[in-house]
A and B are shown apart, each in its own frame.
Chain A
Amino acid sequence: MDERELRGLIQSVKAGKLSRRAFVRRLAAVGLTAPLATQLLAQAGVANANSKFDYKPTKRGGGGTLKTLFWQGATLLNPHFAVGTKDQEGSRIFYEPLAAWDNDGNLVPILVAEIPSIENDGLAADGMSVVWKLKPGVQWHDGKPVTADDLIFNWEFACDPATASVTIGSYKEISVEKIDTLSVRVRFPKPTPFWAEAFVGSRGMIIPKHLFDAYRGEKSRDAPANLHPVGTGPYKIVEFKPGDVVKGMLNPHYHMPNRPFFDSIEMKGGGDAVSAARAVLQTGEYDYAWNLQVEDEILTRLEAGGKGRVNIIPGGAIERIQLNSADPWTEVDGERAHISTKHPLLSDPAVRQALAMLVDRAAIQDHIYGRTGTATGNFVNNPERFRSKNTTWEFNVDKANAVLDAGGWARGTDGIRVKGGKRLKLVFQTSINAPRQKTQAIVKQACQKAGIDMELKSVTASVFFSSDVGNPDTYAKFYCDLQMYNTGLGQPDPQLFMHQYVSWEISNKANKWQGRNVTRWVSSAYDDTLRAAESELDPIKRAALFIKLNDMVVMDHAVIPVVARPLVSGSIKKLQVQLSAWDNTFWNLREWYRET
Chain B
Amino acid sequence: MSQYLLRRLLIVVPSLLGISVVLFTVLALAPGDPFEELAANPSVPPEVAAALRAKFGLDDPIPVRYARWLLAMLQGNWGFSFVSRVDVDVLVLQRVWTTLFVIGSSQILALMIALPVGVYAATRPYSIFDQISSTLAFIGFSLPTFFTGLLLILLFSITLDWLPFVYRADIAATGWRWYWEHVRQSLMPVAVLGLAQGASWTRYVRSAVLDVIRLDYVTTARSKGLAERVVVVKHVVRNALIPVVTLVALQMPAIFGGAIVTEQIFRIPGIGSLLISSILANDTPVIMAVTFVFACLVITFNLIADILYGWLDPRIAYR
> Is A258 engaged at the interface, CB distance under 8 Å to the other chain?
no
Residues of B within 8 A of A172 (CB): 45
Give chain B nearest CB distance to A196 CB in angstroms. Answer: 14
User: Is there contact, CB below 8 Å, between A245 and B84?
Assistant: no
Residues of B within 8 A of A8 (CB): none
Alpha-carbon gap, A243 to B278, bound state (A)? 9
Give chain A nearest CB distance to B197 CB in angstroms. Answer: 23
Given the interface pairs A76-B84, A226-B85, A283-B157, the reply to whether A268 lies near B168 with Cβ below 8 Å is: yes
Alpha-carbon gap, A464 to B95, bound state (A)? 31
Given the interface pairs A168-B45, A169-B43, the reply to whether A285 lies near B37 with Cβ below 8 Å is: no
Alpha-carbon gap, A42 to B39, bound state (A)? 32
Residues of B within 8 A of A231 (CB): none
User: Is there contact, CB below 8 Å, between B43 and A496?
Assistant: yes
Listed residue (A162, A226, A275) with the most chain B CB atoms within 10 angstroms of its CB: A275
Alpha-carbon gap, A162 to B280, bound state (A)? 27
Residues of A within 8 A of B52 (CB): 164
Give chain A nearest CB distance to B203 CB in angstroms. Answer: 32
Residues of A within 8 A of B269 (CB): 241, 243-245, 270
Alpha-carbon gap, A282 to B165, bound state (A)? 12
User: Is there contact, CB below 8 Å, between A466 and B33?
Assistant: yes
User: Is there contact, CB below 8 Å, between B166 and A470?
Assistant: no
Interface residues of B in 21-73 (CB under 8 A from A): 31-33, 35-49, 51-52, 55
Alpha-carbon gap, A270 to B38, bound state (A)? 21
Interface size class of chain B, counting residues whose CB lies under 8 Å from the partner chain: 35 or more
> Is A256 engaged at the interface, CB distance under 8 Å to the other chain?
no
Name which residue of chain B comes closest to A468, CB basis.
B31
Residues of B within 8 A of A283 (CB): 157-158, 161, 165
Given the interface pairs A83-B38, A161-B51, A166-B48, the reply to whether A463 lies near B32 with Cβ below 8 Å is: yes
Interface residues of A in 435-471 (CB under 8 A from B): 462-463, 465-468, 470-471
Interface residues of B in 208-261 (CB under 8 A from A): none
Residues of B within 8 A of A168 (CB): 44-45, 47-48
Alpha-carbon gap, A245 to B172, bound state (A)? 13
User: Is there contact, CB below 8 Å, between B42 and A499?
Assistant: yes
Residues of B within 8 A of A226 (CB): 85-86
Residues of B within 8 A of A218 (CB): 55
**Interface readout for A337-361 with B: 1 if CB under 8 Å, 0 if not?**
0000000000000000000000000
Residues of A within 8 A of B274 (CB): 243
Listed residue (B51, B85, B170, B281) with the most chain A CB atoms within 10 angstroms of its CB: B85
Residue of B165, B170, B273 near A270 (CB, 8 A) is B273
> Is A106 engaged at the interface, CB distance under 8 Å to the other chain?
no
> Is B195 engaged at the interface, CB distance under 8 Å to the other chain?
no
Can you offer 29 A-B residue contacts whose CB atoms are under 8 A? A76-B85, A83-B38, A161-B47, A169-B44, A172-B45, A221-B80, A221-B85, A226-B85, A241-B95, A241-B169, A242-B86, A244-B269, A269-B267, A270-B264, A270-B269, A271-B166, A271-B265, A279-B165, A282-B158, A283-B157, A283-B158, A466-B33, A466-B282, A467-B33, A467-B40, A468-B36, A496-B42, A496-B43, A514-B46
A interface list, Cβ under 8 A from B? 65, 69, 72-73, 75-76, 78, 81, 83-84, 161-162, 164-166, 168-170, 172, 203, 218, 221, 226-227, 239, 241-245, 247, 264, 266, 268-272, 275, 278-279, 282-283, 285-286, 462-463, 465-468, 470-471, 491, 496-497, 499-500, 514, 516
